Amino acid sequence: MPRIGVLLINLGTPDAPDAGAVRRYLAEFLSDRRVVEIPQWLWQPILRGPILLTRPRKSAHAYAQVWTKDGSPLAFHTRDAAHALQGRFGPDVTVDWAMRYGNPSIATRLAALTEAGCERILLAPLYPQYCAATTATAVDCAAAALAKMRAQPALRTLPPYFNDPAYIEALKTSAQRQLDALDFEPDLLIASFHGMPERTRALGDPYHAQSLETARLLEQALGREIQVTFQSRFGRAKWLGPATDEVLKDLPRQGVRKVAVLTPGFSADCLETLEEIGIRGRDDFLASGGRKFAHLACLNASPEAIKLYENLIGRELAGWVV
């Protein structure tokens, strides 16, 4: 049997928490037409001008607050998940990992897998909810890499798993374990998803509906109310709401003093979860009169995550792995 490759894919990260590395990362990320759907003739002068001249230094400071001795949290959690999955699908399956933006790139890891003899490759974007700006652009990038190959491997793609029972069970187990470890009982549990421009929803992107369904199913599984919010607004366009930061600032006025926030749209902790929610979100809530705040970790490379990915990937390898 030919070798089989599995490529875990996450969004991306700069190589270091400094302005130069962040500038290179943002230039690649924000030049993706799936991410910023503005005509390039209009967008590129804005990007190359005020954004890349001012934003990298500010973002580098934010990255520095979450950077670890192992590097970027998003990178090492994705790497650790790939390493934990190695060997779980038999000796002929190689599990690797890549970032859509930054390093290691999708193109280099696809090349490495094919050079290692993998004639069949499963792309596994670790985005539970489908969005053109995340799932689709990862597949686009893989297709662009294959377009340069003379001998292409056969491909499969892991579908969205926003309502998969195994995913909901992993979220439930992880969240309940962390809630049980708190020294307080939250008045409210918030599920904060990454935001998208409202326009993407109008154009038919299913991300919003899939996020709400994930929260509904998790609410049922935990047996407690969950409020859905959306974070990480950028630019002047109308984004999906309600906005996480605005909700956190307003909750104490409504009498909600103790809050726990989970981020089920992210497979691994990153800048948006650790800094935006864990630091700025906490500060906003407490400064507005809140008393207790907890950010619940993502699945990362936890036992719940590995069990989930083993289930999802094993299912997609059916017929390739006997």
Tell me the pLDDT tens digit for each residue of 242-268. 999 999 999 999 999 999 999 999 999
The Cα–Cα gap between 18 and 55 comes to: 12
What tokens were used for 2? 């030919």
Sheet strands (E) in the chain = 3-13, 93-102, 118-125, 154-157, 188-194, 226-231, 258-262, 292-295
Q: Does 321 map to a domain?
A: no
Q: Which domain holds residue 237?
A: 165-295
Shared domain check, 205 and 141: no
What pLDDT, on the 0 to 100 scale, is given for residue 234?
84
What pLDDT, on the 0 to 100 scale, is given for residue 1?
67
Shared domain check, 310 and 229: no
| Sheet of strand 3-13: strand arrangement | 93-102, 3-13, 118-125, 154-157
Domain count, the chain: 2
Q: Which residues of the chain have pLDDT under 70?
A: 1
Three-state SS annotation for 247-312:
HHHHHHHHCCCEEEEECCCCCCCCHHHHCHHHHHHHHHHHHCCCCEEEECCCCCCCHHHHHHHHHH
Q: Does 186 map to a domain?
A: yes
Shared domain check, 227 and 171: yes
Q: Does 322 map to a domain?
A: no
Shared domain check, 157 and 9: yes
Give whole-number Cα distances, 35 to 131, 272, 293, 295, in Å.
Answer: 10, 16, 31, 27
Shared domain check, 9 and 154: yes
The Cα–Cα gap between 72 and 67 comes to: 5
Shared domain check, 83 and 61: yes
Shared domain check, 108 and 89: yes
Shared domain check, 145 and 11: yes
| 212 CB neighbour count, 10 Å cutoff | 15
Pairing of β 93-102 and β 3-13: parallel
Shared domain check, 154 and 264: no
What pLDDT, on the 0 to 100 scale, is given for residue 125?
98
Shared domain check, 122 and 260: no
What pLDDT, on the 0 to 100 scale, is given for residue 322?
76
What phi, psi does 125 have (nearest 5°)? Answer: -65, 125
pTM score, whole prediction:
0.96
**Residues in the chain, how many?**
322
Q: What are the pLDDT digits (tens) for 62-98? A: 999 999 999 999 999 999 999 999 999 999 999 999 9
The Cα–Cα gap between 61 and 23 comes to: 13
Shared domain check, 53 and 139: yes
Indicate which CATH number applies to the domain containing 203.
3.40.50.1400
What pLDDT, on the 0 to 100 scale, is given for residue 2?
78
Shared domain check, 86 and 16: yes
3-state SS, residue 118: strand
How many CA atoms lie within 13 Å of 106's alpha carbon, on the beta-carbon side? 24
What pLDDT, on the 0 to 100 scale, is given for residue 151?
93
